[in-house]
Amino acid sequence: MATAPSSQASLLLQKQLKDLCKHPVDGFSAGLVNEDNIFEWNVTIIGPPDTLYEGGFFNAIMSFPKDYPCNPPVVRFTSEMWHPNVYADGKVCISILHPPGDDPNGYELATERWNPVHTVESILLSIISMLSSPNDESPANVDAAKQWRESRDEFRKKVGRCVRKSQEML
């Protein structure tokens, strides 16, 4: 008898969580929001050194679909975040979190989009990389992208406020 997709997803997520607990990765921590739900994770991303986000502790929720890893999770910051690739509601917009296949908007190659070989670790490392190198060419937050391009000092100040707020929430 074949295993149902949600049980396969559950087993894979349990393994990835166990691996992260055994071998923590610099730059983030991860755990379950609720011990009874393997499909929703709490993550804290530490602002990368030598970036505007340095010193920040940014909380997010990773919500995995029942058919993971065939489709990507949704990652949404619950901490305030000002970044060209993060929507106003906190949802992260990077290529590897977009469903597999061709981009209906024609911005991304299929090879840049979700691939089932990605893990929680590779996703979070990609988000850390995104914090280091914003992509303002196809922004989720047009205002942040415009400020990043045209008024870097104001952008820096706004990110600094987000970093301070994240520290106060500890």
Tell me whether residue 21 is one of the annotated catalytic residues. no
Rounded-to-integer distance, Cα 113 and Cα 47, Å: 24
Question: How large is the angle between the packed helices 152-168 and 142-150, nearest 10 degrees?
Answer: 120
- Both tokens assigned to 108: 């991304």
Residue type (1 letter), 71: N
CA angle 87, 92, 95 (to 5 degrees): 115
Catalytic residue among 21, 70, 93, 162: 93
Rounded-to-integer distance, Cα 38 and Cα 11, Å: 9
Phi, psi at 167, each rounded to 5°: -70, -35
Reduced to 3 states (helix: H, G, I; strand: E, B; else coil), residue 82 is coil
The answer to whether residues 151 and 140 touch, using CB atoms and an 8 Å cutoff, is: no
> Which residues form the catalytic set?
93
